[in-house]
Chains A and B, each alone.
Chain A
Amino acid sequence: MVERQSPLTPIFRPAVHSNDVGSISITLSEVTPLSIVEAACWPGLNERLTAAIQEVTGLSVDTTPNAGVVGRGTAAFSIGPDRYLVSGEEDLSARLARVLSEETGTVTDLSHGRTTFRVSGTRAEWVLSKLFAIDFSPAVFPVGEGRATAHHDIFAQIQRSDAAQFDLYVFRSFARAFWNTLCTAAEEVGYEVIEA
């Protein structure tokens, strides 16, 4: 496996950036997992796809739109009809490819093509609402679920990984620019950059 370097390396600095009243409401970190894989199936075979994801990750993900599950060191969520984004250990892509035959669907390793950011804290919904035109309230975006959306031309796949925590998967080539945007959006509420 080729050694991976974070696209944030030149600018990433763990630090506290309190707002003008001295408070800190969210933390930002990079949490890119060892493997990021898109698993897709042919029409009508969604049950077989979710069974394959369960066999490999242990995650029982629903076939309904936007469904997702967060596990220990692994996660999966719907990113479109018959398509899931699955993250986990280094061998994830090979293990999925072994159980997902070409008759059922396809496995695409995106590990080197995506960067994952974690936004957590009491004002996470507020800050993300500045960037994306979707509803982040827990009533319509519950824990585990995923959304595919975009901030201008920066495409983002977002999973709510905890009550006040979101994981954002963006294209690696946009990651540094998007990180700067995220930090700027967070200035109002105060933020801390932490090492994952």
Chain B
Amino acid sequence: MLIPCPHCGPREVSEFSYQGDATRTCPELTSTDVKAWYDYVYNRPNPAGPHREYWQHSGGCRAHLIVTRDTRTHEIHDVAFARAALNRAGEQA
């Protein structure tokens, strides 16, 4: 499995660290909604197909990325820096 890092180019998966599901949204920190917190902390849909994930290129440029990966084939549909400002800089270049 190769992940095309927007800074480094395609690199093998061993250079990357999985950082979790990128589809979750954190509840307001003052929220007492138990269901919302349960879903955020524990509930994972684990889809068979495209999945939005955080990865860090920890054995490379160390940037945090948002990767859309097909969990059946490991095909990478989309990669962007998790820090949105970097993606905008890329568009201007």
Q: State the A residues within 8 Å of B (CB).
A: 43-44, 46, 64-66, 79-83, 133-134, 147-150, 152-153, 155
Cβ-defined contact, A44 with B89, below 8 A: yes
- Residues from chain B with a CB closer than 8 A to the CB of A43 are 83, 85-86, 89
Interface string of B2-34 (1 = CB under 8 A from A): 000011110110110000000000000000000
Cβ-defined contact, B61 with A133, below 8 A: no
Measured CB to CB, the nearest residue on chain B to A65 is B7
- CB < 8 Å A-B pair total: 51
Cβ-defined contact, B63 with A81, below 8 A: yes
Interface of A, secondary structure class, is: loop
Cβ-defined contact, B62 with A148, below 8 A: yes
Q: A66-B8, A81-B81 are in contact. Are A149 and B63 (CB under 8 A)?
A: no
- Residues from chain A with a CB closer than 8 A to the CB of B12 are 133
B6, B59, B81, B93: which contacts A149 (Cβ < 8 A)?
Answer: B59
Cα distance A134–B2 when bound, in Å?
Answer: 11
In the complex, what's the smallest C-beta–C-beta distance from B88 to chain A, in angstroms? 9
